[in-house]
Chains A and B, each alone.
Chain A
Amino acid sequence: DAKTTQPTSMDCAEGRAANLPCNHSTISGNEYVYWYRQIHSQGPQYIIHGLKNNETNEMASLIITEDRKSSTLILPHATLRDTAVYYCIVRALQGAQKLVFGQGTRLTINP
């Protein structure tokens, strides 16, 4: 699985959009981009994933650049409960038993 690079930490004001970047310059054509988050002491929570098109669900939007070397997770209206560590993961379709979690971005939502 390709390696990802994320900022160590970010801050965002409550009610604003939180934009979390991820670089995955060595991503292969058969690898998806996944985002998970982990709120303190809880299990990782799936947010969204995509291959090359932008994706949106009830939690977030995922914007993947045309060359697929980077992506951005957008939380449109951040709340205090969105404070968590966010993980960007690239994962192949076949033989992909494990998820490789890096260090992630610690997002703090400020009131």
Chain B
Amino acid sequence: GENVEQHPSTLSVQEGDSAVIKCTYSDSASNYFPWYKQELGKRPQLIIDIRSNVGEKKDQRIAVTLNKTAKHFSLHITETQPEDSAVYFCAASGNNRLAFGKGNQVVVIP
């Protein structure tokens, strides 16, 4: 089955700087790559996703890039704010169930 890995496990950034989280996946048939944000004590929520027919997608301060050849995709957060502090999970799937990475703790330092 699909195996998704995230790195780094923890990332600290100064408020206003950019944060980048990278994920790799193993199954070349995967074609859907979402990112979920989980704030402390809350449920995970989808923040952005990308399908394999595009290489990049943006939504205000967040963007996701996909490199299918290398089988990795990244989340980019620009102009980070304290409310961006959370755990971010990447995931991948093809025609089967979604497989999640272990999560990245992002800490935005005011």
A and B part of one assembly: no
Q: Which residues of A contact B (CB under 8 A)?
A: none
